[in-house]
Every structure is written in structure tokens, then in C-alpha cells.
Amino acid sequence: MMPAQSRPRYPASVEVLDADLEWRLRQLVASTQRQRRLPSLVMVVQRSGLQLATFAAGKADFKSGLAAEAGVQYRVGSITKTLTAVAVMRLAGQGRIAVDDNLGRHWGGAPHPDLEIGRLLSHTAGLQREPVGEVWESLVLPSREELPGNAAAARRLYPGGSWWHYSNLGYALLGEVVARVAGESWEEHIRRHILEPLGMLRTSMEPQSPHARGYAVSPYSDELIEEPAVDTKGVAPAAQIWSTPSDLAIWSHFLNHGHPDVLGQAVLQEMRSLRVVADLDGWRLGWGLGLMLLRRGGRVYQGHTGSMPGFLAACFGSPEADLGVAVVTNSTGSVRIGELAAQALDILQEHASSVPWAPGAPVPEMVRPLLGRWWTEWSEWVFSWRDGALVSRAADAPDGANWERYEELGPDLYRCANGTERGEELRVVRDSEGKVQKMYRATYPLTREPKPFGDPLQADRQSS
């Protein structure tokens, strides 16, 4: 019997997709695999942790004839970084490190000891991209023992915090911080504290059968070229992991909602909060603390892409729509894998908008008097009860605009959990009979009628 801590925590059952939606996604996968000449392409889509469907085309291994399936392992490259980032943030949530700590605080003799952990997570530390040397020509990367000396010779391209610059080397250093603070290897920490609690039992540091073989396709013929397997050694926290599309679907759900044994929703919100814009021309790609943020019109998808010789992967989700997509291929290039995942999420979002409304949880009696329209600074706001929480937004906000969500701190006291006033308090003022008189949001008064600044009926404060 599988040990209790290793049992999957997310349901593996499959819902039935709308026929038109299934056809569109199947066509997207089939046409992309054919037109981009990919040895195989697999996509898994999930909603609320339930795998909606798997779409696969081609072969994972042409020597053995292994078909591409959701349970076949592929190398996922830099998606590994999201696991390293979660490991760092777990330790931060336990108070063992802080995001604004520098390396030297937790690693005696660290190379570049003044580099901040948060800047390494968001690729804003200014450190060069790769370890010193032409490692991707020789395919010999530094071991964990060699990493400090190699990194000490690495260049600092920019002052910390000035620009976004992607750095595999930076994540290698973060993995060493995890190991030193946790008192166990990075690999062991990822397995025990992330993969096992989530039930990601087909995710590992080395390939486990059945697994795909990595290829490149000749640009001028249809010949397959087998790519070499690369051991990333000391750079493993940046790119080592192998996983399956099914396990990546679990990961996308986790990044949307968290898990009590791994990381909570509040910390994940911090991780997906924009730290830096990566493309200054279009503002379509940003970075949080370890997570890529793709802006698609009014939507933002979170996750990461991955690339290693012979493999590409992408894992993205939408917390608001409770959707996720995992895509893998055993080809070095020829497809923008992140764009493909985003296209699938766009299609799923269109479908989600047509799902019928259904009644939700009843409104608590203490909350009911807070609902409706309020005024502050001559602007009208609407407070509502949605999905079991008190929420608010401007009365003239467009359809589909996000609601600010409040967490209850105590009687008549709430804290804003998202949006522009995240972290600020909402305080309810009642009279001696318990009737709501007004509210204060981030210290600004809200009243049922518009009032000027300094109005004596608005500006009075409780003496108690």
C-alpha cells in the first residue's frame, strides 16, 4: 500500500468536456505537432484539480515506439525553478529566511554574499545567466562542490534591482541556500516537502520509465537527431527535473490554490505579484518571486516554461478561473511552448465564461448589513458576498473586473487580501444598537451617501 504521505492529494477523475471545446483543443495540439514537426506533443488541461482531458500526438520514443501519453515522463527544464522558489518561500513562511535576506546571512563563504534572495527569485540580482565557462557547448556543468568557486568568478552585469536578467546560476545559488537552511540536500527537500505531499509521484530528478527520448529535428529535412542527456549537477535547482503532463497539471492546480502541507494561498499570492517587467516594449511578460506572469489582454497567467536539450515544457494557470494547462514536447526547438499553453488557456477561459451561474454560500448575518453601495471620496463602491467572502470594487468597474477580497480578522474587522489596498484594514463602525453607521477602508471613511471631506457626521471618531 502507498504510504499515507505519498498518496495523491488531488483528484484524478476526469470531467466531460464540451464537444466544441474538446475539438478546438484537439485541433490545436494536432495542428501544432504536425506544422511544427514535433516528435510528440502532449497537453493536459485541468479545472479545480480535476483533469478535464489529455490531448496527445506523436511518439515519445521512436526507438521503442512509446506513444505520447499523460503518464510518460518528459524533461521539464526551468519549470524546476518554480519548485525551487516554492522551497525558498516555504522556509520564509517558517521564519527561517526572509525574502530580503542576502546570501551571506545563510551561507558562510557564499559567492557574492550581498545578493538578495528575492532578487535572485525574480531575476533582478544582475548576476550573469550561466556558470562561468562555455557549459552548454561542453555540456559539463559544475558540481555542487565546484559551484561556489565557479559562481565567485561570475560577473555582476547590473546593480541589483535595476533590470530583469534571467539567471540559471542565480537559481543554483538559491538551491544551495535551501540545502543549507533545511539541513538536507535540495533534491531530498523537494521530494519530501513538495512532491510527496502533492502526490506528484511521477516527478523525479532522473528519468523513470516510461520516459520520452529527447530529439531535435533537422531544419532542412525530416530527420530526427537524438539529443544528449545532460546532468545539470550543481545547477540542478534551475533545470534538472523530469515530470509527466499529469503531474504538471497537479502542479498548476497547486500554484493556483496552494496546499496546507506545502504552501498557503497567501504566500502564493506574494509569489505571483509582479516584481519586474521583463519585456519593456510590450509589457506582456513579467516576473514575480519565481513565477512567470503572461499578460493576455485583461488576463494574467502564472507559471513557467522549460527547455533542455531535446525537450520543451510549459505549465501555466489562472487562479481566478481555477484553470491550468501543462504542455510538453520532446523537441529542442521550433515551437513557442509558452504561447501554446496560453492559447489553450484562452480557449478554456472562453468556455468558462459560458458556465451557468449557481447559488453559493449564505451570507453571514453580521456581513449582510455591509452589502450594497457605499461612497468614499465622491466615488461609489459596491460591497458583495461572492464565493464565501466579502468583496468590493468600484461601482463603475467594467464587467469582468476583479473584486477586492477581504479576510475576516475579528468582529467587524477585515483585511484586504488582493488588489491595490492589499494588507489594508476594513473597519466597521456600529451604533449602540448594533446598526452599521459607516466603514473605514485604509482609514478612508465609507458612508451610504456621498459626503465632503471634513463633514462632521463623517469625520467623528469613536472614543472607545
Q: Is the pLDDT of residue 405 over 80?
A: yes
Polymer length of the chain: 464
pLDDT digits (tens, 9 = 90+) for 35-73: 999 999 999 999 999 999 999 999 999 999 999 999 999
Cell readout for 320 is 481566478
Q: How far is CA 445 from CA 369, 376, 397, 423, 438, in A?
A: 16, 6, 20, 17, 7
Residue 319 CA to residue 329 CA, distance in Å, equals: 25
Spatial neighbors of 72 by CB under 8 A, at least 6 apart, are 42, 60, 66, 210, 211, 212, 244, 245
Give the rounded distance of the alpha carbon of 15 from its chain centre: 24
Write down the pLDDT at residue 312: 98
- What percentage of the chain exceeds 90 in pLDDT? 86
Residue 2 CA to residue 274 CA, distance in Å, equals: 39
Residue 448 CA to residue 283 CA, distance in Å, equals: 39
φ, ψ for residue 232 (rounded to 5)? -80, -10
Q: Is the pLDDT of residue 460 over 50?
A: no
pLDDT digits (tens, 9 = 90+) for 212-244: 999 999 999 999 999 999 999 999 999 999 999
Bridge partners (DSSP) of residue 308 are 311
pLDDT band at 387 (very low <50, low <70, confident <90, very high): confident
- Which one has a higher pLDDT value, 453 or 133? 133
Residue ranges of domains in the chain: 10-352, 368-459
Cβ-contact 333, 250 below 8 angstroms: no
The pTM for the full model equals 0.85
The CATH-assigned architecture of domain 368-459 is Beta Barrel (2.40)
Average pLDDT for 139-143 = 96
Write down the pLDDT at residue 313: 98
Cell readout for 285 is 511578460
Domain 10-352 has CATH 1.20.1260.10: no
Cβ-contact 79, 305 below 8 angstroms: yes
Q: Is the pLDDT of residue 464 over 50?
A: no
